[in-house]
């Protein structure tokens, strides 16, 4: 029967998410992935600034997107002034 079975009243009513947000891997929401053309990148860091997930690593010469968290929103590709970021169907990560 598709009837919902009630939980016992002793079950806690408020249960906060037991894992920290860092473990909430949002990368699996993604259907398209950013690919950065290292040749054309000028290192302006706008992709880092605009990324709503704050998942662009700029410690190296060319930005690297952390695909565990990238939702594939494409904001970086739209904002990149040198048009070096392309959204691709493949979820493969370009270096």
Partner 1 sequence: MKKVLMGNHAATLGAVLARVQVVAAYPITPATQVVELIAEMVAKGEFPGQFMRVESEHSAMAALLGAATAGARTFTATSSQGLAYMHELLHWVSGARLPVVMVDVNRALAAPWNLWTDQTDSLSQRDTGWMQTYCATNQEVLDTVLMSYKISERLLLPSMVLLDGFTLSHVYEPVDVPDQKAVDAFLPPFKPQTFLDTKNPGAFGSLETPKPYFRIRRRLALDMQRAEAVVEEVGAEFERAFGRGYGAIESYRSADAEVSLVCSGAVGSTAKQAIDELRAEGHNAGLLRFRLFRPFPATALKRMTRPGMKLAVVDRNYSPGHQGIFCEEIKASLYGTKNAPEVYGFVAGLGGGDITVELLKEIWHEVKAKTADPVEPLWMEEAR
Q: Where do contacts with partner 1 occur on this chain (CB under 8 A)?
A: 4, 6-7, 9, 11-18, 20-21, 24
CB of 14 to partner 1, least distance (A): 4
CB-side exposure of 89: number of CA atoms within 13 Å?
0
- 16 versus 60: smaller Cβ distance to partner 1: 16
CB of 1 to partner 1, least distance (A): 15
CA distance 1 to 17: 30
CB of 60 to partner 1, least distance (A): 31
- 14 versus 95: smaller Cβ distance to partner 1: 14
Question: Which of these, 33, 43, 18, 16, lies nearest to 69 by C-alpha position?
Answer: 33
75 Cβ neighbours under 8 A, 6+ residues apart: 50, 51, 52
CB of 32 to partner 1, least distance (A): 22
- 69 versus 85: smaller Cβ distance to partner 1: 69
90 Cβ neighbours under 8 A, 6+ residues apart: 33
């Amino acid at each position: 029967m598709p009837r919902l079975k009630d939980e016992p009243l002793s079950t806690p009513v408020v249960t906060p998410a037991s894992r920290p947000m860092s473990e909430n891997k949002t990368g699996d929401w993604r259907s398209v992935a950013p690919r950065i053309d290292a040749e054309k990148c000028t290192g302006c860091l706008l992709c880092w600034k605009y990324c709503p997930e704050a998942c662009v690593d700029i410690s190296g010469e060319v930005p690297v997107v952390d695909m565990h968290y990238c939702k594939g929103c494409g904001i970086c590709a739209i904002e990149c002034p040198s048009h070096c970021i392309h959204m691709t169907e493949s979820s493969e990560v370009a270096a």
